[in-house]
Structure 1
Amino acid sequence: MDTAYLSKPSTKPAGGATSLVSVRRVSKQFANGTLAVRDVDLDLGTGEFISLLGPSGCGKSTLLRMIAGLASPSSGTIEWRDGAPDARPDLGFVFQDPTLMPWANALANVMLPLTLKHVPKREAQARAAEMLALVGLKGFENSYPRELSGGMKMRVSIARALVMRPKILLMDEPFAALDEITRHRLNDDLLQLWWKERFTAVFVTHSVFESVYLSQRIVVMAARPGRVMADFSVDAPYPRDDLFRTSADYASLCRLASGRLKEAIGS
């Protein structure tokens, strides 16, 4: 396959997209002295799907949390196109665990961000029901987390993150604990949602296969301390499906991405 599928490292948005978030020389050192992230430069473009790929402990989640405003950089800046921190309400976050309220049904869980924003109850219920339908859970509005499978609970979590129609959706290894069949299905559903809503997606993973399948760009990070080692585009068309998963192009892209990851781990 033509290696033009991979561009030179740039840290810039793919396809000339307008930058939504600019990360400049960001480092994070914890109180115990651990330097988790060092001198990261990264631009996140409007409407892009970007994966942060790297081994456990390379600072992917720390970087994601700093972008979300859940942690502060020790040095460097994170700037939003529309101005920080006012832009951050237009942000959704999906954690590794669904973090649902066990005493509330699916509809109430998805309504939570709307309730906190004092959206009228009738409107909040309608918007939450619409989002549950969008993630394939129509008919499960009254189901409680204990009555849902792992994949269904993660769908509720994604619906809750998207109910405010955010400009950017940050996802911290949301499918890591799921079986392969469910993970593939949710990858497909996530791409359909992204294609329909066209939010900027930033997806943390340590799976080469998942990153290639989902992304327009892959940012490879090395550990100790976390830093960007490669930033390249995946020039494969959308929509992507099982035919792409079994194609020679996909296999070649996975080999190339795996090589970049191996270089990062060995650095």
Structure 2
Amino acid sequence: MVIAEQGSSETHLQPTADTAASRPLVEMTNVTKVFSNGTVALSDMTMTVMPGEFISLLGPSGCGKSTALRIIAGLGGISAGSIDWPSFRINSRGLPDGDISFVFQEPTLMPWQTVFGNVYLPMRLKGISRKAASERIMSALESVGLADFHKAYPRELSGGMKMRVSIARALVTEPKLLLMDEPFAALDEITRQKLNDDVLALWKSTGITVVFVTHSVFESAYLANRIVVMKARPGRVDSDFPLHTSLERDSHYRTSEEYRQACSEVSARLSEAMGGEEHA
């Protein structure tokens, strides 16, 4: 556990684990984060992540969503409160040792490496030979529909394909927890919808736990089975609620009355968190 002292109906989308009987993956309790310039990014934020969930961390730009995600990943310290990773191996610094993967807003691929080489990177950092990692790399690429492009270079790929490579790189280590920081925000709507479907398919087929940062009501209502809405700076949880559906989430769901109602509920929660501002 990392602790900082003060001043320092049946549904198609459900968690794949029995969360009531499982240990949490992450427990944030009254976490505050103050940057060196005095900016209070998070204040008294409490959130628990259970195995098998698909959580959407929703809020306006600048509300601390990305900061919270980095803290969950063990990539940033806290100023007050505590954070614990009960289901992970913990290293000598009190941080999770592996089993967490991060997909950033940009693909951050190495231009001099092939698709295969980019996905191999986390395995290489673990000391695993290219030959020994080959089967897992190709399996990860197959899961995102890019096995036939394993010899291609990033310059030969579209924006959506580059992001698929980034997702494959995150999945190749077979993590317990996948953290995604607005990964599709810069993509066109058609590509974004396709990647939303791909991520849902991966979540349902692998049982991985996902925390997905977005400021889109429509994306969060489509993807998540639990939504955590944050208030604007200083960031903290305003509402935390499940969002299930009786329909399969696909192209037909996007035009359904149930999806419209889900978007309406999420939008109302976000509007309340923003002090009544309208949000499309």
Return the match for 2:238 from 197, 212, 229: 229
Amino acid at match of 1:139: D
Query: Corresponding residue for 1:214?
Result: 223
Query: Corresponding residue for 1:31?
Result: 36
Task: State TM-score, norm by structure 1.
Answer: 0.92
Query: Corresponding residue for 1:63?
Result: 68
Counterpart Cα distance in 1 of 2:178 and 2:201 = 14
Cα-to-partner distance string for 1:13-71 (whole Å, 9 max, x where unaligned):
99636321111110100011000000011000101000000000000000000111111
Alignment check: 8 A CA contact 2:115 2:151 kept: yes
Query: Corresponding residue for 1:10?
Result: none
Q: Is 1:260 matched with 2:269?
A: yes
Map 1:1-267 onto structure 2 (within 5 A): 16=20, 18=22, 19-83=24-88, 85-86=90-91, 87-237=96-246, 239-266=248-275
Q: What is the Cα-based RMSD across aligned positions, in Å?
A: 1.8
Deviation for aligned residue 1:261: 0.3
Counterpart Cα distance in 1 of 2:171 and 2:253 = 27
SS in 2 for 1:139: helix
Query: Corresponding residue for 2:5?
Result: none
Task: State TM-score, norm by structure 2.
Answer: 0.88
Give the fraction of aligned pairs with identical amino acids, expressed as a percent.
56
- Structure 2 residue runs of 5 or longer lacking an equivalent are 1-8, 12-16
The total of aligned residue pairs comes to 257
Counterpart Cα distance in 2 of 1:193 and 1:55 = 27
- Go from structure 1 to structure 2 and tell me whether the alpha carbon gap of 1:257 and 1:102 turns closer, same or farther (over 3 Å shift): same
Amino acid at match of 2:54: F
